[in-house]
Structure 1
């Protein structure tokens, strides 16, 4: 590893909790191998401290980029001067970078990472039906990417009905007639994705009823710790192709690296 000096560029990953993230090691290693003198540092920002803490981090001249995880993806977007088209649709970012004029540009790669993780396993979503559990930052991005990539129908479920309905209204605006409310029953869907918190803790309930899964169902989860989640274990028992949160993260790595180091 290149010796750290005062010239080393700082990149941050913010969230709460933060102990489950794997990107700091992966992306720091990629930076070093590419000859970019920088590192990615995880920082836990409590939910009620985002609006006071994030501007201070953005004001630090040696911070080049900030990656964003739960629960800050929507809040962080409000601190960007400019958003990519997909981030603007979603109102959520998972990556921000400093521009040459010191303003900040935000983008969202969650959905692109999930899609690439599926493609890496030979699982395309063109012409497929997709069920997504969770309408937060990750779920929103994944839903948009699945429809953009050619899924014919998408069902969405979140216990937070207001959040669920808001995302469904957004999807109806941009992809009319292709998204509907899900119930937790996943029988008949080609691809089932957990984009919710359910699975972080052993005591968490399953995000969907696994009895509807068949050996033809592809099941994916955004959670990186634990791996596999209870959902993926249930899916494996039924013979499903499974993809965990590390596969989604791997799918994002080059996209995030290019975004973070482009000036």
Structure 2
């Protein structure tokens, strides 16, 4: 399909941006559906979000904006309406222009990771989950794990403000099912890295691999490099692993339908 002035534009914003795979994946999905559009990655630094987003929203041929680190919390202030889960989390990873011109925000990070875990044949219901990270992705994953019926979720974040805010939200919505802890609990079934640790060469491991056991499923939100050092070490132990591309794959149809206002 040729690129013309009629082509609908969708963007993905973040910093850094070089590691993202969604632009290619979703543009190909648009082509397969005979939809005249493309998804463009835009590198927007954290301090420039409040300047850049109003400009993007003002362009009539931009229909949606996907959001990755570090903008998932900040972008919510630029939406006119929010889904229930986005309102609970206080973070979004997608916003779209509605037919009336207003912008609607939602969050699909957690649903994508949960779908990736289940697609590989691993159950979430009744399982114990340990997660590092209480930012935008971690918050969404936490809600999705609990929605899927996880028995208990333990998590921590070096940002104690984010950690405390997420604990307050989750313990209110899911009383007795959430706790804070920096060590993988005994008997844990699913371990998740929801931080950017591992994105850069030389990053410290987000989880002490000595705390992992062969029966565990270890998941990482990072899409590049694949595998991360965490997942490589987990594989050596015998753990099943899920990387960021599996999470992204789980989100693709959800995001595609959202971006084109089909859901």
The answer to whether the aligner puts 1:130 opposite 2:141 as a matched pair is: no
1:20 corresponds to which residue? 19
Aligned counterparts of 2:204 and 2:187: Cα–Cα separation in 1: 22
CA shift digits 1:12-57 (9 cap, x unpaired): 0000000000000000001011011000000011100001110110
What SS does the aligned partner of 1:78 have? helix
1:38 corresponds to which residue? 37
**Do the aligned residues in 2 keep the contact of 1:155 with 1:180 (CA within 8 Å)?**
yes
1:219 corresponds to which residue? 218
What SS does the aligned partner of 1:73 have? coil
Instruction: Identify the range of structure 1 (9-18 vs 161-170) with the bigger mean alpha-carbon deviation.
Output: 161-170
Gaps of 5+ in 1: none
2:106 corresponds to which residue? 107
**Do the aligned residues in 2 keep the contact of 1:186 with 1:192 (CA within 8 Å)?**
no
Aligned-pair distance for 1:197?
1.1
What SS does the aligned partner of 2:78 have? coil
The answer to whether the aligner puts 1:162 opposite 2:155 as a matched pair is: no
The answer to whether the aligner puts 1:69 opposite 2:103 as a matched pair is: no
The answer to whether the aligner puts 1:121 opposite 2:120 as a matched pair is: yes
Equivalent residue runs for 1:121-200 within 5 Å: 121-200=120-199
Equivalent residue runs for 1:233-252 within 5 Å: 233-252=232-251
What SS does the aligned partner of 1:86 have? helix
**Do the aligned residues in 1 keep the contact of 2:183 with 2:211 (CA within 8 Å)?**
no
What's the Cα RMSD here?
Answer: 0.9
CA shift digits 1:74-113 (9 cap, x unpaired): 1111110000111010011100010011100000000000
What SS does the aligned partner of 2:42 have? strand
**Do the aligned residues in 2 keep the contact of 1:10 with 1:62 (CA within 8 Å)?**
yes
**Do the aligned residues in 2 keep the contact of 1:187 with 1:213 (CA within 8 Å)?**
no
**Do the aligned residues in 1 keep the contact of 2:171 with 2:178 (CA within 8 Å)?**
yes
TM-score (normalizing by structure 2): 0.98
TM-score (normalizing by structure 1): 0.98
User: Aligned pair count?
Assistant: 262
Aligned-pair distance for 1:184?
3.3
Aligned-pair distance for 1:140?
0.3
Aligned counterparts of 1:252 and 1:187: Cα–Cα separation in 2: 30
CA shift digits 1:135-168 (9 cap, x unpaired): 0000000000001110010001111111111111
